[in-house]
Every structure is written in C-alpha cells, then in structure tokens.
Structure 1
Amino acid sequence: MSNNIKDFTLTKLAKKYTFVKDSELYKFYDALNNSCKEKEYHNTFEALWYLGIYDPSIISFIKNEIFKKLNCLLNNTEESVDNISSSKDRHCIYLKYWLYDKLIIEDFDEYDISIIFDFLKKKKNAFMKILKSNRPCNIYKLSLSDIHKIKILYDYSEFLHDSDTTKYDLILKDEEYLTYFKKGLDLYQNSKIICPSIKKDDYCYEFNEYETKYKRKSAYLSCKEKLLSSLHNKVTTLNGGSLQGDRKSEGAVDLDLYELLKKDQIIDKIHLHKFYESLEQHKRTDTSDICNSLKSYPVKNENGVCELLKHAEYILKSWDKTYATYQKLTTSETCDYMRYWLYDKLSHIDANPCEIETFYILWHNYTTDESKNKNKNKCKNEKYYGFNKEELENKKKLFDFLVYYKSIKDKIKEPKNERKNDYCPYIKSIFELYKKMEQKNISHSYTEELKLFQNNFSSNRELNFLEENCPDMCLGFVFNKKFKTLCPFENKPIIEAQKKNHTPCQKIDHTFRNLGGNHEKDYNFSNFTTHDVYKELNGEIITNNYYSICDKFILFNEQHCGIHDLCSKLVRNLKKLSRMENKERTERCTYIIHWIYDELRKIPNIISENNYETIALREFLNVAYEILRQLEIYDCFFNTVNIDFDEQKEKKYLHDYFKNYEKMQGKNFCNDDTCQEYCEYITFINSLYGKYINRYCYCFESDGCKEIYPSYFKCDDNYNPHELFEKLQCNSFEEFRGKLKKVDKPIPEDHYVKRLAYISVNKPHLLNWGNKKSSIIPEVVSDKITSDPFHKFSIGSFGFLGVFLILFILYKFTPVGSYFNNRDTIDKDSYFENFENQYLEDDVEFSHGNTKNRRMRIAYHQA
C-alpha cells in the first residue's frame, strides 16, 4: 500500500471505481466542490469570519474553501445541500468527510489543522444552519493522524460495508487498493472495541457518534467484513485459514482426537462420533426444489452449497423420528451435534463467508416454514453469526474435545494405561487453540465455545489434575489474561546455527572457587528429604527446545557451558512455584534460592573476584528477576548484589541439615556400614553450626532464643548436631572418637542485664560498687543524699519555678502591672499621632497642585 494518503483522495477513488463515483457521498462531495464558484459575499462578514488568523495559506483555505461555500449555501436556496443528494440524514458525515479530504489535499501540518479546528468550533452554528437537520452535527478537534484514520475508515464503511459482494471482485484486482480498504476494515473493527469503553478522545467521540447514528449496531462482523478480511490474505484463498492446520476430520470427528480415542477403544463411548456418522450416511437420492432459492443470492459455488442444503433438508425431514432423541440424548444435545456437524461440512466446501451465510439463511427459512418443517422438535440455526471457514473449524475442534474430555480424563487416571501420556500433547494443543480463539474473538464468534471451555476448566482442581499428569506444558496458565500465548515463555526449537553452541558439558572441567575442607563434597544423600526436591529442580530439559527468554544464553553457552540449561530449568521451576500456595510455596521458594546459587557456582568462568565483572552472571540475574516479574511472583526475591557464593553454599548445607533432621532422627535410619558416612556429614555440619549459631540466635534468660533466619538455621537445642552424633553412636568409629565438640547455645542476654552492664560501664558512681561504708550510718546517708546529682537538679528546678511565681503575682495583683499596661497605651497613642501627622503632611504637600478642577471633599464628624 502506498504510504501517501493523498493517493487515495475521493476524486482518485472515483476515477478508479464506478461504485464510488455513483455513491451519494461522492455526489455531495462533487456538488459542494463545484458550488458557488461565481458568487460574491459581503466583505464585512468575511472580515469577521477569519478574524484573528494571520497565516496566508490558512486564510486562503478558510476564505475560498470554507467561508465561500458555506456562506453561499446559507444565502442561496437554489444551491442548498438539500438539493445535492437524497441522503439528508447523512449530510453531516458527508460535510465532515469533505473537510477531512480537503485538509489532506492541502497538506496542512498539525499546527495549521489545530488553528482551523479552533476556528470551526467557534463557527459551528453555520454548519447547523446549512444542514437543516434535526440531528446535531458536532465538530471534533482531530489530529492529523486521526484525520487520516477516520478518512480511511469512512472510505471502507461507506463504500464496502454491507455492500454488494461484486465490489470485492473489483478491488481484488488491485492489491494496493485492496490493502487500503482492508486497513479501513481493521480500523473499523479496532475502533468498535476500543472507543465504546476503553479510550476517550475526539477520534473516539467522532467514531461513536458515527456508529450510533449511522451504522447498524451488531456485536458480530458481517459476512462481507469477513470476506474482505479473508481476501487480504491470499495465501489462505478466499475463505480464511485455520488456526489448527490442514488436518481433516475422520467421520467428522477431529482426526488427531479420533486416532487417540480409537487406540484406547473409547471413540464410541460417547455418542458424538456415531451421531456424526449417522448424519453423514443420511443422504437423499430424490430431487428437491430447496436449491431454487439460491438464484436470488450471489453464490458462485452453487453445487457445493446446494448439495449440503439437500442433505440437511433430508436429515430434518426425519429429525423427530431418528435424531431428536438419538441414543437417549436430549433434544438440545442432538441439535448441538447437528450444528457442529454442519460446521465441519461447511468448512470443507469451497464457499466464502457470504455463501456460508446464504446457506444458513435458507436453512432458517426451511426450519421456520411450518408447511415444510413439520417436526415437533425444531433444530434451528439461532447461534450462527456469519462465521468463516477458519472459525467453523476451530469451533468444531474445541467442541469435540470438550464432549470427549471426561473419557480422556478417565483414561489418564488409569495407572496402567501406557498411552495416557499421548493425551498430554493433544490437550496442550487444545489449550493453545483456546488462547488463540480468545485473542481472535473480536466479533464474539467464539464466545459460545469459550464459555463451554471455561465451565469445564475454571476450577483449580481440574487444572491441578492436568498439571500433575501433564507437567511442564503451561496448562495452568490458560486463564491468565496477561499472557497472550499459553506459555509465558514460548518453547521454541533451536535453529541449526545455534546447536553448535548448545553442546553437552560433561567433558568440560568445572572449576569451583575453593571453599576449603569438605565444602565441595556432595552430602545430598539419596534418602534425604531434600534429595527429591533438588532432583526435581535439576531435572533435565529437552535440548531440542528452549524458552525464548533464555535465548541470549545460547551465545554464552560456549564460554559458560550449562548456563542456558540452567536458565531453562529456572523458568520451569518458577512456573511451577507460581501455582503453589501458602506453606508449600514458601518452602519451595527457599529451595529454589539455595539451588540457584549452588548451580551458578558450577558454571565455568561464571565467578570472578567481582561478580558483576562477569557479563553472563549479570544477564542471568536480570533474566531471573524478569521471569519473577512476568509470573507475578513477588514473595521469592533473592540477593543479586555482592553475592558471597561461599557463604551461600554454607547456608545451603545448614538449610538442608535442618530439613533432613527429622529423617535422621527416625528409627533404623542407618546401619553400621552406612552410619560412618553420616557421622562424617554430622561432624562437618557441626563446624558450620558452631560458626553461625552466635550470628543467627539471640537468646534470653526468660524467653528462649529468637531465630533471625529460621529458613536455614534453627536455634532449638534439639537440632544440635551433637544429639545426632550420639544417637548414631559415632564415637564407636575410631576416626570420629572425641572429634566432635558440642556447640553450646549463646549466653542468654536479658534486657535488664544489658541495661545494668551499660550503667556499670558508663555511670559506676550510681551503683557505688566498691564502697565499703555502711549506708545505715546517718551522716553517711545524709552525705549521699546531698551529693546526688538528681538531688541538686531538683532543688535548682524548684527554685527557678519559685522566682517565676513571685514575678507573676507582682504583675497581676500590684500597681507594678498597671504601670506596664499604661505604658503600652501611651506608646500606641504616640504611634497613631505620628502616623496622623505624617498623613496630614502628605495631604498638604499634595494640595499644592492645581485644585480648580478637583471636587471638594468635606469631612463630617458626629457630634
């Protein structure tokens, strides 16, 4: 499409297409352009018309294009707009269209257009007078881009919306004009969604007024709108493409679903497939006149539509007898099955949306004609709203799945069913289809199926069941409105150019920062409680796929082998965390934090003296927080600045020890052969326990110990490694005999004791420690009282208050107070006297001037 909007002015469109030239809009436009060319107007009125505007180009435009036309039409009944065209109720739209087209032709900029609209708003009454309509014609101040959009929208709406489909054959010949009108359709569809409720500006006010007063109100797109939309995509022919691909159905049931159900021999457990087959086989052999009505409609493929009409007529003739209560189904169910069978048939004939609509019009006429349709149970097409082939296929596929879902669920539940995992990819494809249908439900074409899906899966119990049996497929995110796709981080195949950087890391030497001692020994014993959790977190990712948010780490993978897989694992683990709640969520968050720090240490070259000198590490931590943000996880943050990986590793050891403690306390935890390994582990943990207990346990004499970081350090004496050391009889092994020293709790620090210690250091004289004289001697007691600083301060304060009390009494109740009050009055009188004298002096000085023409002023005073 040309980027120049001036290539699509109304004059050029009229030269291109005769249906534009013959339109009422063009007649109005052309007549207005050619009217009043020789008329004169009053100069005074003209001066008032564009008063305050100084730009010559704007003045010329208002003078010659606006003022002359409107003034002439106001004063000349022969050239009234009432005589220009017959569509008087649309003259307001035509007049504004003419204005927008002129503004585009004159190539005004944003500033010029703003001035013109300000002027027009002031002269809005002139518009009202020339239109002579009962409807108000509002002028909205549009921007330049809004003028372009509304002009394109009007071109589509006035020339193609609900028009003869033969026009589509004409515009199909020129891709540039096809694209132009398709853009008008897109603007019209988007404006119908945004303007009524979301956006409020002058563009939307203009559109809403146009839609309310001049258009047919409908939540659904017409077949002609869908036809134009499909014409724009030539790859999918005139009928629109399917969201699900080109796989056709087997016996009317979706082929992928049919193959799964047939393998498990449950295809006939539900009557849907048999019902479809019965309809398929119920074809007529005699003649029918139902197709005669097709001649009244613009149908190109009469044979396809006619054959299906005759087929449907033959089915309806035996509806009550054969199908209304088929296999004890309800009449509502059988009618729904019939509708979706027709969707499938219509999606496989060569018919465009308007030809499909013609089929439904004729079917509706037949079902409502009592002389032809004598069935007691009517099956009408009340839920058809002009679907195209794409919509018909998608609606049918989703419906078939929902009907069979209960049977699928029962098969998944069977523990010995080897094929139950085959259902998971299909279920994921259906959930992806639901998300796509939800995104494309602009005209509410999928509303019925979306509601059916929501009714089946809206409960957390159903989604949790699927998540448990079909893990890592994002099924739990299906109702998350924030994500346009099913998975927030798309699973994409790795392209060939990236595979060389995505090599296994087994042969690469992992160099760790040396923590000393046994810190690099793996104490994650298989029977530990923590073992299964870390095994799940570190589960392998399929190397043929990756999450899009991790794609940058494919390039880092050569120098930091394993970082890409670690990112993918983090995405998977955080996705699962986002669906957890309460205690389970809190505990899993703690595991993930310790796991991610530990795994980062294993990445080659990832750690330097300054962690943020490693670009890969910085990018990884940024991506980690981006994942948390997208998944709306705000309760599982971890430190990303100045990370001490040595300390984090020690915290992980302690965290795991406390998580596994109850397991190690159990009976028969180990035998003589295996206990030795655990004794080594407990000895190692004891060294860390002694290192951190004084940091993270704050103990009191009366209230036990307070745990500063309970997630990885417990202060209770029951968790002391020495208890386990004794229980496992580690002293029986020579290498551990006498090697473990019990770590004691920190000395209790009571608040009162701390206060006493502070006084003893800073104010020892208050305690008088070391004073051997007995305080029972009167002289000593008296001396202590008088020498006490508090005693001295108290006496001084009371003395100061006594002085103020005496002064107050003198001021309030003696002549001394009266003297001071009178003195203030004298000072005030003196001030006002000075002010009055100054005023008089100024007045006298002013009166030295000429007073002949001045009014005499006399002051009057009350006696």
Structure 2
Amino acid sequence: MLENWDNSLEQLKAGCNERTCCDYLNYWLHEKMEKSRYNQKTIQYIYAAWDVINRNRKKGYNYCWYKNFKLASSEFNNKKQLYEFLEHYDSIKNKLNNVDSSNNIEYCTFIKKMFDLYLEMEKSNTAQIYNDEIRYFQQKINCELSYVKTKCSDKCLHLVFQTKNDNFCQPNENNIGELSKSPKKYEDFNSEENIDIYCNFCTEILPLERDYPGINELCKKLARNLIDITKETAENNDDIKNNCEYLTHWIYDEMRKLPSSTSQSIGNIPFVHKLLDAGYRINETLKNKHCRFKYYRDYSFEELKEMKELHDFFKIYNDINNKITTIGSENSNYCKYISHIYDLYKKYIKNCCEYYYKENHYNDNCSDYFNCDKTYDPNNLLIKLNCSSKLSDEESKKVYDVATIDRLAKLMTEKSEEQSKLLSKSMSEKSKVQTESLAELVTVKPQEQSELIFKDRNVLITSENLFSALLNDPFYVASLGFFGLLGIFFTLFCFYKFTPLGSNFRKKSSGYEISKNNYNQKGRKKLLYENSESNNTNLKNRPYKLAYQSS
C-alpha cells in the first residue's frame, strides 16, 4: 500500500483526502499491533521499514509518514474516538437534519458523549498528548454551537467552551411543571433583549471576557435587570424585596456557570468581586429605589445553588400543595424533588432558625432563602404524596430539636420540678407516718442524738449515711468545696489584718525592706564618696579655666 500510495489515494479519494487517509492508516496499524501484542522491538522494525519505503520513493510523489503512538491503551482509544467523531461529524449532522426532534435522542446522546470526552481530555494531567485532537475539536465545533444548541437543546452543548465542570447542564431537579412564576422570572432575567444599551456599565468587565467567556453579556443583563426592577416596582417595597431576592439568586447561579471552582468560597474568585462591584455602581445611579443584593463572600457556588433551590421551593410551596390531588403519574418526580429539598431543609435549619421549646415563636435568620414557619415543612408534602422518604410526625419533630435553643434548659427545669414535687410528696407522706407512729417505731439513743434506729431494722438513718448521701451529689460537693476555700481565704485574711501574728509578719516584712533600702543607700554613699576621691586626686593635674567678664 505504501509503495503504491498515490494509487491508494486515488481509489479512496471519495472517502478521504491525503491527510485523513494517512491518519486512518496510522490509527489502523497501531490498533492492529496493539491487538496482536507486538513487543517494542517488532514495532520499531515495522516503523523502520515504513521509513525505508518512503525514502526509496521518487520525489514528487505523495508521502504518508508514520505516527509513533507511545501511549497507554486508554489514551490511544480516546484520541481515536474523538478523531473519528470529528471526521464523521458532517455525516451525523446530515442524519440529524433528516429526523424530527422526537427521534434525535440517540444522535444527541452520542454527540454529548463525545463532548464529554473532549472535556475529559482537556482537563487531564496529560492534556499535551491530545493537543492535535483538542485543536481539531475547537476548530470544528466552534462554528457548530448554535446548531447543537437548537438540535439538542436539553444537553446544553453550546456551553462546551464556557465550562470546566463535568456536566454542561446542572441537573434540573425542580423540573416539575409550570407551578409558579419563578421560572418565568429567571427566564426574563436571562433575556438578551436590549442589553447592548447598558454596555457603558461594563467597561471594566470586558477585559475579563477572554478568561471568563460570557461575563460581559452577564454584566449587561445585570445592569438592565437592576434598572428594570426599580422602574417596575418603584411604588411597592414588597415587590422590590421579592424581585431582588430572585435577582440575587439568579446572578449567583449565572456566575456559577462561568469557568471557576464550585467548591471554594466566592470571595476567593476574582471575577465575582468585579462583577458585583459593577452591580453596586449601577445601584448608585438609581436615586429612588435600590435593589440590594447580598455578597455571600464566605459561601461556595455549590452552597449558593442549594440556597437558591430552597428559596424557589418555598415560593412554589403553596402551588405544589394545591396541585397534589391532580398530580397522578407525576408523583415520582414530585417525591424525588421534594425529598432532595427536605435533605437541604434539614441541613440548613440549624443555622437559619431558632425555635423555643413548646412555643410557637421563632427567629428567622435566613429570610432571603429559608422559611422557618413549620407550615412550610417539606415533610408535610411528602406525607400528602405518600412518598417513601416521608418521616412520621415523631421523627419529623426531631428535625427541630437541633434548632430549639432553650430545649435542654426547659427539659432540665421540668425534670427538676417533677423531682421536687415527688420529693415533697414523699417527705410529706413519711412525715405523716412518722408523726403517727413515732413513739412505737423509734428509739432515740441519748449518747448518739443524731442517730435514729427503726425497731424493725428495715431502715437506718444516721449522720454518717446523710453525709455519704451529700457526697454523692456533685452539686453539694462543688458548693461545699467552693465555700470551704472561700472560708479559708477569709480566715487567713482576718489573721493577717487583725491579729498579733499578722502584725509580726508585717513588721518582719517591712524590716527586711528597710534593711535592704539602708544597704542600698550605704552602697550609693560609698560609691559617691569613692568617686569624689577619685575626682579630687586628678584635680591638681588639670588646668584651670577662668572666665573673665569685662566691666
């Protein structure tokens, strides 16, 4: 074949050109050698023979040079799969054009698989071995994004160059039908209508477009939405608050789709601060009403996604509740969605709510995405739908225990009151019995006045037993220890201040200080004296300098 390469190309020209035919030959040969498990020496002989054939060919003829794929088997298969997909993409596209939307699932699934393979290769630690395939994919698919978006709309394939996540689209966990206006709000926020007139607000964002494709368009949408909200709801503060909550969750969710890490705090992601700062500057231009959105700098995009899901659920809770009787075949979808929300509900309730034991009052710390009113407990819907993940009333109440701030104190108080009542009742009954039969039952020993002995010897109450009972109570032990130490310190203080012993101790202490001071003064005097003598001895040798003042 190599010796007659030009003839081979002529025969295959309908299916491939010179470059692609040579690529096919290389992939075919390597796959054959790999399946035959040739050793490295044999492979080298084959490639050496290939070289000899090319060198012996006359000039002016076409050549096909070998590619030595020094790759692991899985890496070679990845290269081959993506290459073949790109070579046959036009054929796939033609077939996709000839089927209606209901029959394109198989084609779209295959295209999605190849797009996933591209992302896997691009993100791998050995991405350099895939450079040719990655470059070829980008050149080929870059002009096909609008097409795949239209034909495979549910796959989000048009985001392939804008994401570093494993999935192009996040799972639509709340896809449960048109239950409320919340999906429509997000759809309005994402509209591209008239966004270019707001480009002046985003001049500082434009340079980020290279690293974060789509951020400039998102900035213009944010500017338009902020201004539209204040215009539409200028007279109603509740509407502004409601729409601003939607806008807050929308902007974080859209930023999450830009290339970044979903696990780190957004305060550590550079473009987040710059985009939100642009939003703050837009707010400053709105004199009457501002749409304030929070900067959750310590949260990750994954946490913000969960907060959005909770927010949207509470907004549509009543719609779901009203529709339960007509759900029918959609029951499993509802159960799956609400079970997912209930897991988030249990996760966030401790930080968002503060309940009071056996009271209806509560504090709501996350009102922008959480509802602490027990009426909106997702488990209520799970019970009505008879979902397998529902909890019983008793189990459901335990969910609130972690968020009940005075539960332990109230339980201890109730327990203490119960024990006090039981003790009081018991002592009252014993006192009555003892009063009625004291003469018959009790003998008092004069020599041990603190000891009572019941004649039937069933009960023995002595001062030793009473002391032992007190020692077994930690409260009394701690109290006795504290007051005992306090008494010792007070006694020592009185001895020190008001007794001859303390007076003698103070005199000794002051005498020591006086002695020490006298010693130091004597030392200083002696030092001064020695210094003065030293100065006097040198005085004779020094010349005198007299200052005269003319009259």
- What's the TM-score, normalizing by structure 2? 0.45
